[in-house]
């Protein structure tokens, strides 16, 4: 089904002596959800940071929308329609919720004031409020400083931000890590919802049942390498876990 939006092959990346990524490869169709799984330190976050322009890859290729890309900065990835919920959330704790959601793309006032960079705080507050309500996020005061929010609420801010701006691809690095049962379920709902809008999602989680529930494909990383690139409908919880732990490899599957 569908046309490929992202095709990654042989991506590698090292930090000094640490080879974080050795060979990451997978293909993903437009509007699909990819579950990216693997043990701690497998390279999931490093890979998505390469994809979102935080790190530069040392080699391999990333083909996005039919073009070879190598984002030099997060700005480039954002411009290409890729939004990311980072594992560390990448929020500014001293700024209020609404400023965080509009960070780097603040709404400006109409006319000359706007040209001078005057922001339209009221419009931003209103817009954020609408989105919070739409996504049923448990944030009740858009003026609240992010540093004073609970861990789960912070995660909500980061997720909401990505959903508001994500035009083509939304990457979520462990978006449910700090969330309770109910909140996690909401995030899965959100993933299903954005998928309906034809947006492609990369979903990273250690909670395999969550991944099985929302994903169309699953890519398993182990020690920086893709060890399995599976259709979710053709695999099982047990098999995914076996790939993660290394008790099964793609070769002996065939």
Ligand X SMILES: Nc1ncnc2c1ncn2[C@@H]1O[C@H](COP(=O)(O)OP(=O)(O)OP(=O)(O)O)[C@@H](O)[C@H]1O
Residue 243 backbone dihedrals phi, psi, to 5 degrees: -65, -40
Tokens in use for 134?
A: 């739409």
| E-strand stretches of 144-241 | 169-173, 200-204, 217-222, 225-231
Which one of 18, 79, 103, 113 is in contact with ligand X (CB under 6 A)? 18
CB 26 within 8 A of CB 221: no
- Count residues contacting ligand X (CB under 6 A)? 12
CB of 127 to another protein, least distance (A): 12
Quote the CA–CA distance of 226 and 168 in Å, as a whole number.
24
Which window, 44-52, 111-119, 144-152, 232-240, contacts ligand X (CB under 6 A)? 44-52
Is residue 56 at the binding interface for ligand X, with CB under 6 A as the rule? no
Quote the CA–CA distance of 244 and 66 in Å, as a whole number.
30
CB of 89 to ligand X, least distance (A): 13
Which one of 8, 13, 24, 45 is in contact with Mg ion (CB under 5 A)? 45
Radius of gyration of the chain (CA): 19
Is residue 45 at the binding interface for ligand X, with CB under 6 A as the rule? yes
Closer of 30 and 168 to another protein (Cβ)? 168
Which one of 22, 24, 35, 46 is in contact with ligand X (CB under 6 A)? 46
Closer of 96 and 224 to ligand X (Cβ)? 224
Strands 169-173 and 59-64: unpaired
Interface with ligand X by CB under 6 A: which residues?
15, 18, 20, 38, 40-46, 87
């Amino acid at each position: 089904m569908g046309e490929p939006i992202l095709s990654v092959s042989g991506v590698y990346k090292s930090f000094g002596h640490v080879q974080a990524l050795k060979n990451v490869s997978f293909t993903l169709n437009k509007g699909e959800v990819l579950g990216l799984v693997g043990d701690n330190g497998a390279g999931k976050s490093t890979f998505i940071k390469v994809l979102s322009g935080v790190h530069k890859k040392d080699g391999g290729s990333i083909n996005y929308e039919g073009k070879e890309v190598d984002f030099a900065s997060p700005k480039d990835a954002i411009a290409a329609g890729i939004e990311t919920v980072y594992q560390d959330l990448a929020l500014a704790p001293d700024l209020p919720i609404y400023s965080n959601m509009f960070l780097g793309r603040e709404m400006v006032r109409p006319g000359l004031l706007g040209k001078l960079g005057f922001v339209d705080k009221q419009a931003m507050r209103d817009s954020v409020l609408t989105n919070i309500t739409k996504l049923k996020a448990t944030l009740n005061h858009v003026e609240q400083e992010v540093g004073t929010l609970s861990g789960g609420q912070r995660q909500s801010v980061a997720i909401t931000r990505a959903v508001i701006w994500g035009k083509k691809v939304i990457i979520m690095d462990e978006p449910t890590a700090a969330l309770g049962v109910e909140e996690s379920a909401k995030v899965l709902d959100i993933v299903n919802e954005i998928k309906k809008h034809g947006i492609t999602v990369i979903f990273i989680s250690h909670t395999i049942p969550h991944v099985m529930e929302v994903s169309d494909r699953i890519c398993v990383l182990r020690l920086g390498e893709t060890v399995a690139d599976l259709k979710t409908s053709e695999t099982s919880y047990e098999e995914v876990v076996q790939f993660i732990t290394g008790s099964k490899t793609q070769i002996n599957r065939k």
